[in-house]
Structure 1
Amino acid sequence: MGLFDFLRPKPQKSSTGDPGGGDLPEARCHHYTLAHYALRQMAFAEPLTFLGTLASPGAHGFLARMIGNVSEFCTEREPRSDFGAEDLTVHKVRVGRYPGAVIEMPRPRAAAEAFFVAAVLMADLERGRPDPQDLTLRYLTLEKGFVFGGPPRTVLCEWTADGKHLNYGDGPPPELQAFVGAVEALLSKGE
């Protein structure tokens, strides 16, 4: 036991009787890696392909393959994922005038796990087809925040193409429309 381990919250048992459903002291490898690394890397590498795949009937097959890749990475720390592609929901969205996709993750059980991830293509498609070389993508997360004896908290964050993690502070309630609204408000500040 480390010096500060006594400060960590004890995992709580779920009220549904599911012993695996309570909060955890640290993020699950599969959950964290999928939201913060695997999906982000694919989104920045091929923005149009990424968003097109998420908007297609093959979205869950793509997500299943992504979870499989994450499982290979996480195998020593976490032998298997406690969720599958069927536990993810893809929402095709417009964030202001920009097209995007929001992936609703399984309920986060530890700080830094994501409720949602959003990939937003910063291209006004009403002005015509953008040059693929000029495309900019924004990748945002709504994460479970750390709370020390207070009410639940969310944190609005962003990953940049060069791998920087930006924290914008308290986020909206973990609801799809509230998240999309917060992303839109954030993106409109930079216009």
Structure 2
Amino acid sequence: MFVIPTHATEVHISAQALERTLQTQLFNGPDGRYYLRGDAKSACYVYAEKPRITFNQDRVVVHVHTRAKLGTGVYGNCVGVSLTRDVDVSVLPDAQSETIGFRDARIDRLSNSRELNFLLEPFLEHQLPQQLKVNAATLMRQLLTKSAETTGYAITLDNLKIHSMIVQNNLLVLDVDTILSVR
């Protein structure tokens, strides 16, 4: 068995990888939607869909499309107003031990409807950034589970420590120390 401690390894994460994480952890309802109010069978509802992630300077920007039927349900129909808006929230990357997380959520673009914003603001400022958290060590261990089949060597991650995480050229760049075992 070899134990390989590595220091100052860079891990690059694309916007598309973060999008897949968000879709798996939050936008996993019917048709890839996240319902803030109601559900797919409700007459009146509010949902977000189609998350898209980009990078802007030092921030990660999450763009979502929202649809709402706000009003009162009457005989299976929503009597009220229908709204469709694109909204953006940006967050700063925040590394803690093995976890990729985000902080300082800032709503960059919101709707012009007070009623819709009342529902969107807690979602954009709290729920969305919390759901983007990923334990990087767990994810890397999952990736390494098939190493024996593909390389002939069983490679395991014994330890991972994230030192920093920054947005750099359309990538989220992590500076990590790892300890790998090869059997």
TM-score after normalising by structure 1: 0.30
The answer to which structure has the higher helix fraction is: 1
Higher relative contact order (CA 8 A, sep 6+): 2
TM-score after normalising by structure 2: 0.31
The answer to which structure has the higher strand fraction is: 2
